[in-house]
Amino acid sequence: MRDVPEGDRPRERLLNKGAEALSDRELLALLLGAGVSGQDAVELAGRLIARYGGLHELSRVPAHELVAGGLTGIGHAKAARVAAAFQLGRRVSSPESNTRQRIHGSADLAAVAAPLLRGLRHERVVVVVCDGAGAVLRTAVLTEGSSDRSLIPVRDVLALVLAVGGTSFGVVHNHPTGQADPSAADRLVTARLAAGAEAVGLRFLDHVVVTESTWRRVSPR
C-alpha cells in the first residue's frame, strides 16, 4: 500500500469517510493487515473473496479451512482474524445480549441461539439453559455434527442443564441445507428430551431448527 496515495488507503478512508464508504475487499483488507510480496492487502482480500465465491460464502468457512486453502498470504493469524470478525457480526445480530434475554417462547429460543448457528456448513447443537423465570443462564454449544446430521445426546443435555443450575432449557440446532423441516430423527429426539426432562424435574421449553433465514419448532413424534 506504500504506492497508494495516503488519502486512498482503506484505513484513512474509513477514518475520514466512515466504514460505509469502503468496498468489501477494502474492509477485508483492514482485517488482513498486510498483503504479500507483489500484492497489497486489498488485492489479497479480493483474491480471498473470489476463491470462495463471495463474501457470504467466505463468512461460512472455518479458520482452519482458510489456512488449508492454499492461498499465499493466508496463514493462521489472518485466518483467525477473518473468522473472528464474521463470528462477532453474527453475535451482534442478536437483538439483545443473552445475559439479559428472557425466553418467552420458541421465537426467543431461536433468536438467542441463531448467532451461534448461522453461517455454518455443518450441523451444531446449542443448549439454552434458563432459570425459573425464563432468564438465560447460559447458551452453550453441545455438539458438532456432519453436513447433514446432528448429534443430540439427551443425557449430556440434561447433565449440562443440571451443572449450570438451570430449571428449564431449550435445544436448538441448524440445518445448513436451508430446509427447516424437521427430520424423523429430530422429532424422535424431541420426545426423548421431553421425557428425560420430566424424569429429573426440569422444564423442557422446546426444540427448534434454524436456517439462515427462518426457524421451525420440532414437534415430538
Query: pLDDT tens digits, residue range 68-87?
Result: 988 888 999 999 999 999 88
Asked whether residue 48 falls in the same domain as residue 114, the answer is: no
Query: Are 110 and 102 contacting, i.e. CB atoms less than 8 angstroms apart?
Result: no
Residues forming beta bridges with residue 36, ordered by sequence position: 39
Look at residue 202 and tell me if it is in a domain. Answer: yes
* CA of residue 173 relative to chain centroid, distance: 11
DSSP 143: E
Q: How many domains does the chain have?
A: 2
Q: If DSSP codes are grouped into helix, strand and coil, which group holds residue 93?
A: coil
- Provide the grid cell at 54: 463471495
Q: Is the pLDDT of residue 125 over 90?
A: yes
C-alpha cell at 186: 429430530
Residue 198 is assigned to a structural domain of this protein: yes
pLDDT of residue 97: 47
Model pTM score: 0.62
Give the Cα separation of 77 and 72 in Å (integer). 13
What's the pLDDT score for residue 120?
84
Q: How does pLDDT run across 128-144, given as a tens digit for each residue? A: 999 988 999 888 888 88
189: helix, strand or coil: helix
Instruction: Say which CATH number the domain at 143 has.
Output: 3.40.140.10
Alpha helix (H) residue ranges in 76-200 = 76-92, 106-117, 154-164, 184-200
- The answer on 187 and 83 residing in a single domain is no
> To the nearest 5 percent, what fractions of the chain are helix, strand and coil?
50, 15, 35
80 shares its domain with 185: no
At 88 the three-state DSSP class reads: helix
Q: Taking residues 113-123, report their average pLDDT.
A: 87
- Cα 42 to Cα 35: distance, rounded to the nearest angstrom: 7
Q: Are residues 11 and 69 in the same domain?
A: yes
- Cα(91)–Cα(87) distance, integer angstroms: 6
Same domain membership, residue 203 and residue 123: yes
